[in-house]
Structure 1
């Protein structure tokens, strides 16, 4: 797979092809059902999931989810997941709020010294590219950084348009200034995973942590 080859040529994480994360885009509160769009911090938002490859290019964006929806639910219903769930030796790098599956690697919640801590450090280092990309996107298009004051049905179109334009601009502008992601934007939360997939994902994560540890000690 070309995406995995590119990742391995630029980064260390075994079998990775993309990173995934969610970010919240502020919107005007709809009349009905407005409460669905209130996130954990009491803000009215859409919860937007995206993926990014090793070249720091967005490869997908899901823009239809209200702010109250758990990140793990968005992942489970995503087209990206359906495309990789049955592929062997292919993973995306996620974070704690998105759950764990064979195709989605996330941090150990209580890592032990050695392999698990080294795994978490590498995961954090390599998945920062999507946090950086979200920050750049919002800096380039301030309408995404604050409140998108248009009709709700138009917000997804604006997000997609901004994302596509950002990718096109970045292809011709590799020196675009890096902007740090606002730490308050992390709306990750937890939802129960389906047990068999979670257990298999945990086993794959343990195996990867052992492999990674061999290269970091």
Structure 2
């Protein structure tokens, strides 16, 4: 069901979730203060989130200081263990930005696509040229934006200890899913889809550091879709 919903966005097959990290601003903690300063130079927690196609949270990791790279959080997460142990059906994968390593279960964009098939992987022809990978992955950016707009405590500086802030984030995540399940709309002046403040922060000129993954890169090349055509909605 989730795969079908993602497929309708831009014709990207096998997607079961979209992943990203988002920073929640906190006051400077008394302990290990430098660890919480992120690359934008403010104190935060880096929260890993995975959304489904209906903007519901599938997984949340809220415990890492702001200086921690997205790839490190993923490497230490339970979701990686699930895929590595093949507890998720074959052919299913997540989409992430170039801050993550390309794997068989986590597909990232080509950074410098060559003309032809690689460009079709990154983009889809519509009334204008849209990037199919980015368009599908934008679900996570919008999901984060919706959650932060609904729960303003996540949008500003949380003046609690990091441990208590983690609990606040998890509580807001659960409430977000309840609101989605019960179709509880945001207030009229806050309705609609909002981009995440951290949008595109993971898109760097080089992919995430780490050992190359030939299987992941091979799958990405096979998904240049000579037999599958992207479509718009």
TM-score, with length taken from structure 2: 0.83
Cα distance 1:149–1:186, how it changes in 2: closer, same or farther (>3 A)?
Answer: farther
Question: Which residue does the alignment assign to 1:149?
Answer: 159
Higher helix proportion, which one? Answer: 1
Residue correspondence of structure 1 range 179-194 to structure 2 within 5 A: 179-184=193-198, 186-188=200-202, 191-194=208-211
Query: Mean alpha-carbon deviation: is it higher for 136-145 or for 2-11?
Result: 2-11
Q: Residue by residue, what CA displacement relative to the aligned partner does 1:8-59 show, whole Å, maximum 9, x if unpaired?
A: 4666211111110110000111122110111111010000001011222110
- Taking the aligned partners of 1:94 and 1:83, their CA distance within structure 2 comes to 17
Distance between the aligned counterparts of 1:113 and 1:175, measured in 2?
A: 43
- Give the corresponding residue for 1:109: 111
Gaps of 5+ in 2: 123-130
Matches within 5 A, 1:42-81: 42-81=41-80
Give the match for residue 29 of structure 1.
28
185-194 or 88-97, larger mean C-alpha shift:
185-194
Aligned to 1:210: 225
- Number of aligned residue pairs: 213
> Whole-Å Cα distance in 2 between the matches of residues 117 and 187 of structure 1?
22
> Structure 1 residues 184, 51: closer, same or farther in 2, change over 3 A?
closer
Distance 1:6 1:86 in 2: 25
Q: Quote the residue 1:119 is aligned against.
A: 121
Tell me: CA distance 1:86–1:113, structure 2 relative to 1, closer, same or farther (3 Å). Answer: farther
Question: Residue 201 and residue 166 in structure 1: after superposition, are their counterparts in 2 closer, same or farther (change >3 A)?
Answer: same
Q: Is the deviation greater in 198-207 or in 169-178? A: 169-178
Quote the offset at 1:200 in angstroms: 1.2
**1:63 counterpart SS class:** strand
For 1:152 and 1:183, the matched residues in 2 are separated by 20
Q: TM-score, normalised by structure 1?
A: 0.89
Superposition map of 1:10-25 within 5 A: 12-25=11-24
Question: Is the aligned partner of 1:84 residue 2:86?
Answer: no
| Contact kept in structure 1, 2:22 and 2:198, CA below 8 Å | no
C-alpha RMSD of the superposition: 2.2
Alpha-carbon deviations, 1:174-195, whole Å to 9, x = none? 7552232245554426541222
Name the residue aligned to 2:126: none
Shift of 1:159: 0.2
